[in-house]
Amino acid sequence: MKHYKRIKELRNIINEHNYKYYVLDDPSISDGEYDDLFKELESLENLDPKYFDPHSPTQRVGAEPLEGFNKITHQVPMLSLANAMNSEELISFHERSKKMLGVESITYVAEPKLDGLGVELVYKDGSLLHGSTRGDGFTGEDITHNLKTIRSIPLQLRSHEQPLPSLLEVRGEVFIEKSEFNKLNQKQELDGLPPFANPRNAAAGSLRQLDPTITAKRPLSIYFYESGLIEGLAFENHLSFLSSMQLWGLPINPLIKPVKNDQGIINYHKETEQIRNKLPYEIDGTVFKVNDYKLRDDLGTRSRSPRWAVAGKFKAQQATTIIKDIEIQVGRTGALTPVAKLEPVFVAGVTVSNATLHNQDEIDRKDIRINDTVLIERAGDVIPKVIKVVKEKRGNVSEPFHIPKKCPVCNHGTYRSENEAIWRCGNISCSRQVKARIQHFASKGAMDIDGLGEKVVDQLVEEKLIGSISDLFLLTKKKLEVLERFGEKSADNLIKAIKNSQKTSFPRFVYGLGIRNVGEHIARLFEKYFNGDIEKFSNASLEELEAIEGVGPIVAKEVTQFWSNLENMKLVKECLELGVSIEKNSETQINILNDQRFVFTGSLEKMSRKEAQEKVVQLGGRASSSISKKTNYLVAGPGSGSKVKKAKELNVTIINENEFLKMINSN
Ligand code: IVH
């Protein structure tokens, strides 16, 4: 009992410090002092596990990764915002609202539009119940385990300054600050992992993890800005709801403020646009919301967006610079893409030195030439593009640019197919194409061969150790370890990684072949239709392919064209002969467990828990780590704990290891 008093006290103290740090942005103790309090709480909780509380500030990272995401239906749909592209459209929003309401003046709440991911959190009597993604607005994914790792999200709301509603659904944006994003990407590079394209993608990837220990390492932040359903408390306007959220301990963006009428809207929009690059996080516009909830009701909503709010979009950011050169990049399919090499210029918070010129038509249309001064634009995360040439600045000696008639890599002739804007190198043995095809084959979504990145592939092709995807399976440690930058260990690792990749799936292998327009999704459709049989797939006729639901005529044509090339047939045959084995998907296999859900607890004697879980999935069942109403069987071994009790409460069938083995061996 004596511990309990201190445990409770520490939980309160820590929650209050979180509030001061994350909501008020005004910490009153040092990080070191905070850590000491945290450690004291952790050790007392460990001493006395009976005082375990899932909402204690120490309980942010769950023990086991999830098997998959459950769905959560939003009680109130999470709508989008209608966009106003410029000042006129912002003013019309105000005019329309005034007219519909029959009033002369309207107070709005002005907010920055954060460029992150919308999420919803549900609190029951002040305790965090669950959290979800926006999804399609009606149903999202349960990402409670990941949201709990965000330290600025309270697990327990404060209640001593503002009464709590019995049910509170709040919405906000999860994002990563620019400086944290840069640090994260530096770390990715050190770990040999690909960098994230932008903070938004990094935040999205972090929330999509099944393992919360990974999310916990990502520097995620959140600001709250709206409500969903609230029970047991009513609000008259948005400002008072926002200030209550703050008192409950939910962080609110400090730039939010009330504004009046069109002038207020325009001023806020302009001021915010001016400071956007100085803010620590990315924003892509402003949001204006009618403050008075009664007026919101009167305005109502359209099918996808409310009439009481609008998003003011920022102009894409532009700058002028000089095209120093135009480089031709050759892709996996031989496509020649012109890329402008720019005099580096700072725009939208980053230094830009490349811009895509797309194709010859685009170059002709804009009359883009080397040495031209150009206006470039960077919008969101897309590659910068050239808007126009500043013709007045063009010198006397300048010539139109033409994509060369010969491939810049292999000197082979180029061609352009009917209806296509793109020129291609016609040599399928072009070294750049060969390298890019092998890189694609080894990439994450395909064979996922660890350690076989761009540089290594280039090196192996240049050393003539490989010339096609199947050659990868002929590599040996001996051949590798004599190469520059390779040692015994790295040679061994790469050979092992190649070997490991050989046990693969139909979608991975087919996607890896790099058939144009065949992504992972389409590959999965083929897997289903051809029951994972590559031979049947390779012999399919155009008509048969077109008849598959989700497969269009273009894809069907690409596929038949691919297989009509005997070289491709030979490559695939070689891969299979050299050890690539395509595992049947559980769906296409005899599905004896028929989607039934299994949870394991205690120890197993005949196999490890991981093996048992894999077996369940292979046989068409589902393995999960926690019990719910949906669980069909709890497999309990010696040393089982609280799960047995929970299974009994939920009427879940409990079986032992032998009974489980009988079930799975009955086929
Ligand atoms: S209000 C109907 N406020 O923008 C109200 N949304 O296009 C919709 N967003 O899905 C939400 N900052 O993810 C609101 N201050 C803000 C916002 C904001 C960013 C995102 C949010 C939403 C999307 C709507």
| 0.85 exceeded by pTM | no
Number of H helices, E strands in the chain: 24, 24
CB 17 within 8 A of CB 28: yes
Q: How many alpha carbons lie under 13 Å from residue 632 in its C-beta half-sphere?
A: 12
CA of 22 to the centre of ligand 1 (A): 21
Which of 2-6, 117-121, 295-299, 601-605 is least confident? Answer: 601-605
Lowest mean pLDDT across 192-196, 354-358, 605-609, 649-653: 192-196
Average pLDDT value for residue range 348-360 = 86
Structural domains of the chain, with CATH: 2-51 (1.10.287.610), 83-313 (3.30.470.30), 318-393 (2.40.50.140), 431-501 (1.10.150.20), 506-588 (1.10.150.20), 597-666 (3.40.50.10190)
Confidence of residue 637 (pLDDT cuts 50, 70, 90): confident
Whole-angstrom distance, CA of residue 424 vs CA of residue 431:
14
Distance separating alpha carbons of residues 336 and 412, to the nearest angstrom: 12
Radius of gyration of the chain (CA): 30
Q: Which residues contact 566 (CB under 8 A, 6 or more apart)?
A: none
Quickly state the pLDDT bin for 236 (edges 50, 70, 90).
very high
Binning pLDDT at 50, 70 and 90, where does residue 509 land? very high
CA-nearest residue for atom 14, ligand 1, is 225
pLDDT over 80 at 523, yes or no: yes
CB atoms within 10 A of CB 534: 20
**19 CA to middle of ligand 1, Å?**
24
Ligand 1 atom closest to 171 (CA) = 11
Task: Summarize the confidence of residues 82-107 as an average pLDDT.
Answer: 97
Is a pLDDT exceeding 80 seen at residue 107?
A: yes
Q: What is the mean pLDDT of residues 637-654?
A: 87
Distance 274 CA to ligand 1 centre (A): 21
Does the pLDDT at position 589 exceed 70?
no
Q: What is the pLDDT of residue 62?
A: 80
Q: Which residue has the tokens 């804009």?
A: 366
CA angle 118, 122, 128 (to 5 degrees): 115
3-state DSSP assignment of residue 2: helix
CA distances from 311 to 89, 266, 284, 290, 377 (A): 10, 12, 9, 12, 21
N residues, the chain: 667
Residue-wise pLDDT for 442-455, tens only, equals 998 899 999 999 99
How many C-beta neighbours within 10 Å does residue 447 have? 25
Band (pLDDT 50/70/90 cuts) for residue 114 is: very high
What is the 228 CA–ligand 1 centroid distance (Å)?
13
pLDDT tens digits for 119-172?
999 999 999 999 999 999 999 999 999 999 999 999 999 999 999 999 999 999
Q: Cα–Cα distances in Å, from 574 out to 458, 536, 638?
A: 22, 17, 48
Active site residue: 113, 148, 289, 435, which one? 113
Q: Is 467 helix (H, G, I), strand (E, B) or coil?
A: coil
Least confident window among 37-41, 88-92, 329-333, 434-438: 329-333
Asked if pLDDT for residue 618 goes beyond 80, the answer is no
Output the six-digit token pair for 307. Answer: 């009439």
pLDDT reported for residue 614: 75
- Measured in Å, residue 15 CA sits from the centre of ligand 1 at 27
Mutate to test the pocket of ligand 1, among 78, 81, 281, 299 (most ligand atoms within 8 A of CB): 81
- Strand-pairing partners, residue 132, are 120, 142
SS (H, E, C) 15-64: HHHHHHHHHCCCCCCCHHHHHHHHHHHHHHHHHCHHHCCCCCCCCCCCCC
Confidence of residue 351 (pLDDT cuts 50, 70, 90): confident
Alpha carbon 399 to chain centroid, angstroms: 43
Distance between Cα 116 and ligand 1 center (Å): 9
Q: What is the pLDDT of residue 586?
A: 58
CA 536-542-546 angle, to 5 degrees, is 95
pLDDT for the residue 621 = 76
Residue 252 has pLDDT above 60, yes or no: yes
Distance separating alpha carbons of residues 69 and 294, to the nearest angstrom: 37
- Contacts by 560-568, CB closer than 8 A, 24 or more apart: 562/513, 562/515, 562/516, 563/538, 563/539, 567/428, 568/513
Report the half-sphere exposure of 470 (CA within 13 A, side-chain side). 13
- The token duo for 148 is 């709990």
Q: State which ligand 1 atom lies nearest to the alpha carbon of 115.
A: 19
CA nearest ligand 1 atom 24, residue? 80
% of the chain residues with pLDDT over 70: 97
pLDDT at 591: 60
Residue owning the nearest CA to atom 23 of ligand 1: 80
Helix (H, G, I), strand (E, B) or coil at 117: strand
Task: Let me know if 113 is a catalytic residue.
Answer: yes
Which has more confidence, 665 or 136? Answer: 136
pLDDT at 608 over 90: no
Ligand 1 pocket test, pick from 85, 114, 200, 310 with the greatest ligand atom count within 8 Å of Cβ, gives 114
In this prediction, residue 255 has a pLDDT band, given cuts at 50, 70 and 90, of very high
Among 654, 657, 627, 659, residue whose Cα is nearest residue 643: 627
* Percent of the chain residues past pLDDT 90, beyond the cut: 74
Residue 381: pLDDT over 80: no
Q: What is the pLDDT of residue 667?
A: 42
Q: Which of 131-145, 167-181, 413-427 has the lowest mean pLDDT?
A: 413-427
Give the tens place of pLDDT for each residue, 621-635. 788 888 888 899 999
Q: Dihedral (C-alpha) 106, 111, 114, 118: value to the nearest 10 degrees?
A: -60
Atom number, ligand 1, closest to the C-alpha of residue 306: 2
The number of C-alpha atoms within 13 Å of 271 and in the hemisphere containing its C-beta is 13
Q: Whose alpha carbon is nearest atom 16 of ligand 1?
A: 113
DSSP codes of every residue in 545-585: HHTSTT--HHHHHHHHHHHHSHHHHHHHHHHHHTT-EEEPP
- What separation in Å is there between the alpha carbon of 111 and the centre of ligand 1? 10
User: Which alpha helices (DSSP H) does 210-322 contain, by range?
Assistant: 212-216, 238-248, 261-275, 293-299
Give pLDDT, residue 238: 98
- Nearest CA, atom 2, ligand 1: 79
pLDDT at 285 over 70: yes
CA proximity to 216, closest of 331, 353, 15, 58? 58
Residue nearest to atom 3 of ligand 1 (CA): 225
Q: Taking a C-beta distance cutoff of 8 angstroms, is the pair 442, 457 a contact?
A: yes
Ligand 1-lining residues (CB < 6 angstroms): 79-81, 111, 113-114, 118, 134, 173, 225-226, 287, 306, 309, 311
- CA end-to-end span of the chain: 55
Q: Is the pLDDT of residue 617 over 80?
A: no
Residue pair 284/341 in contact (Cβ under 8 Å)? The answer is no
Ligand 1 site-directed mutation target among 287, 302, 313, most atoms within 8 Å of CB: 287
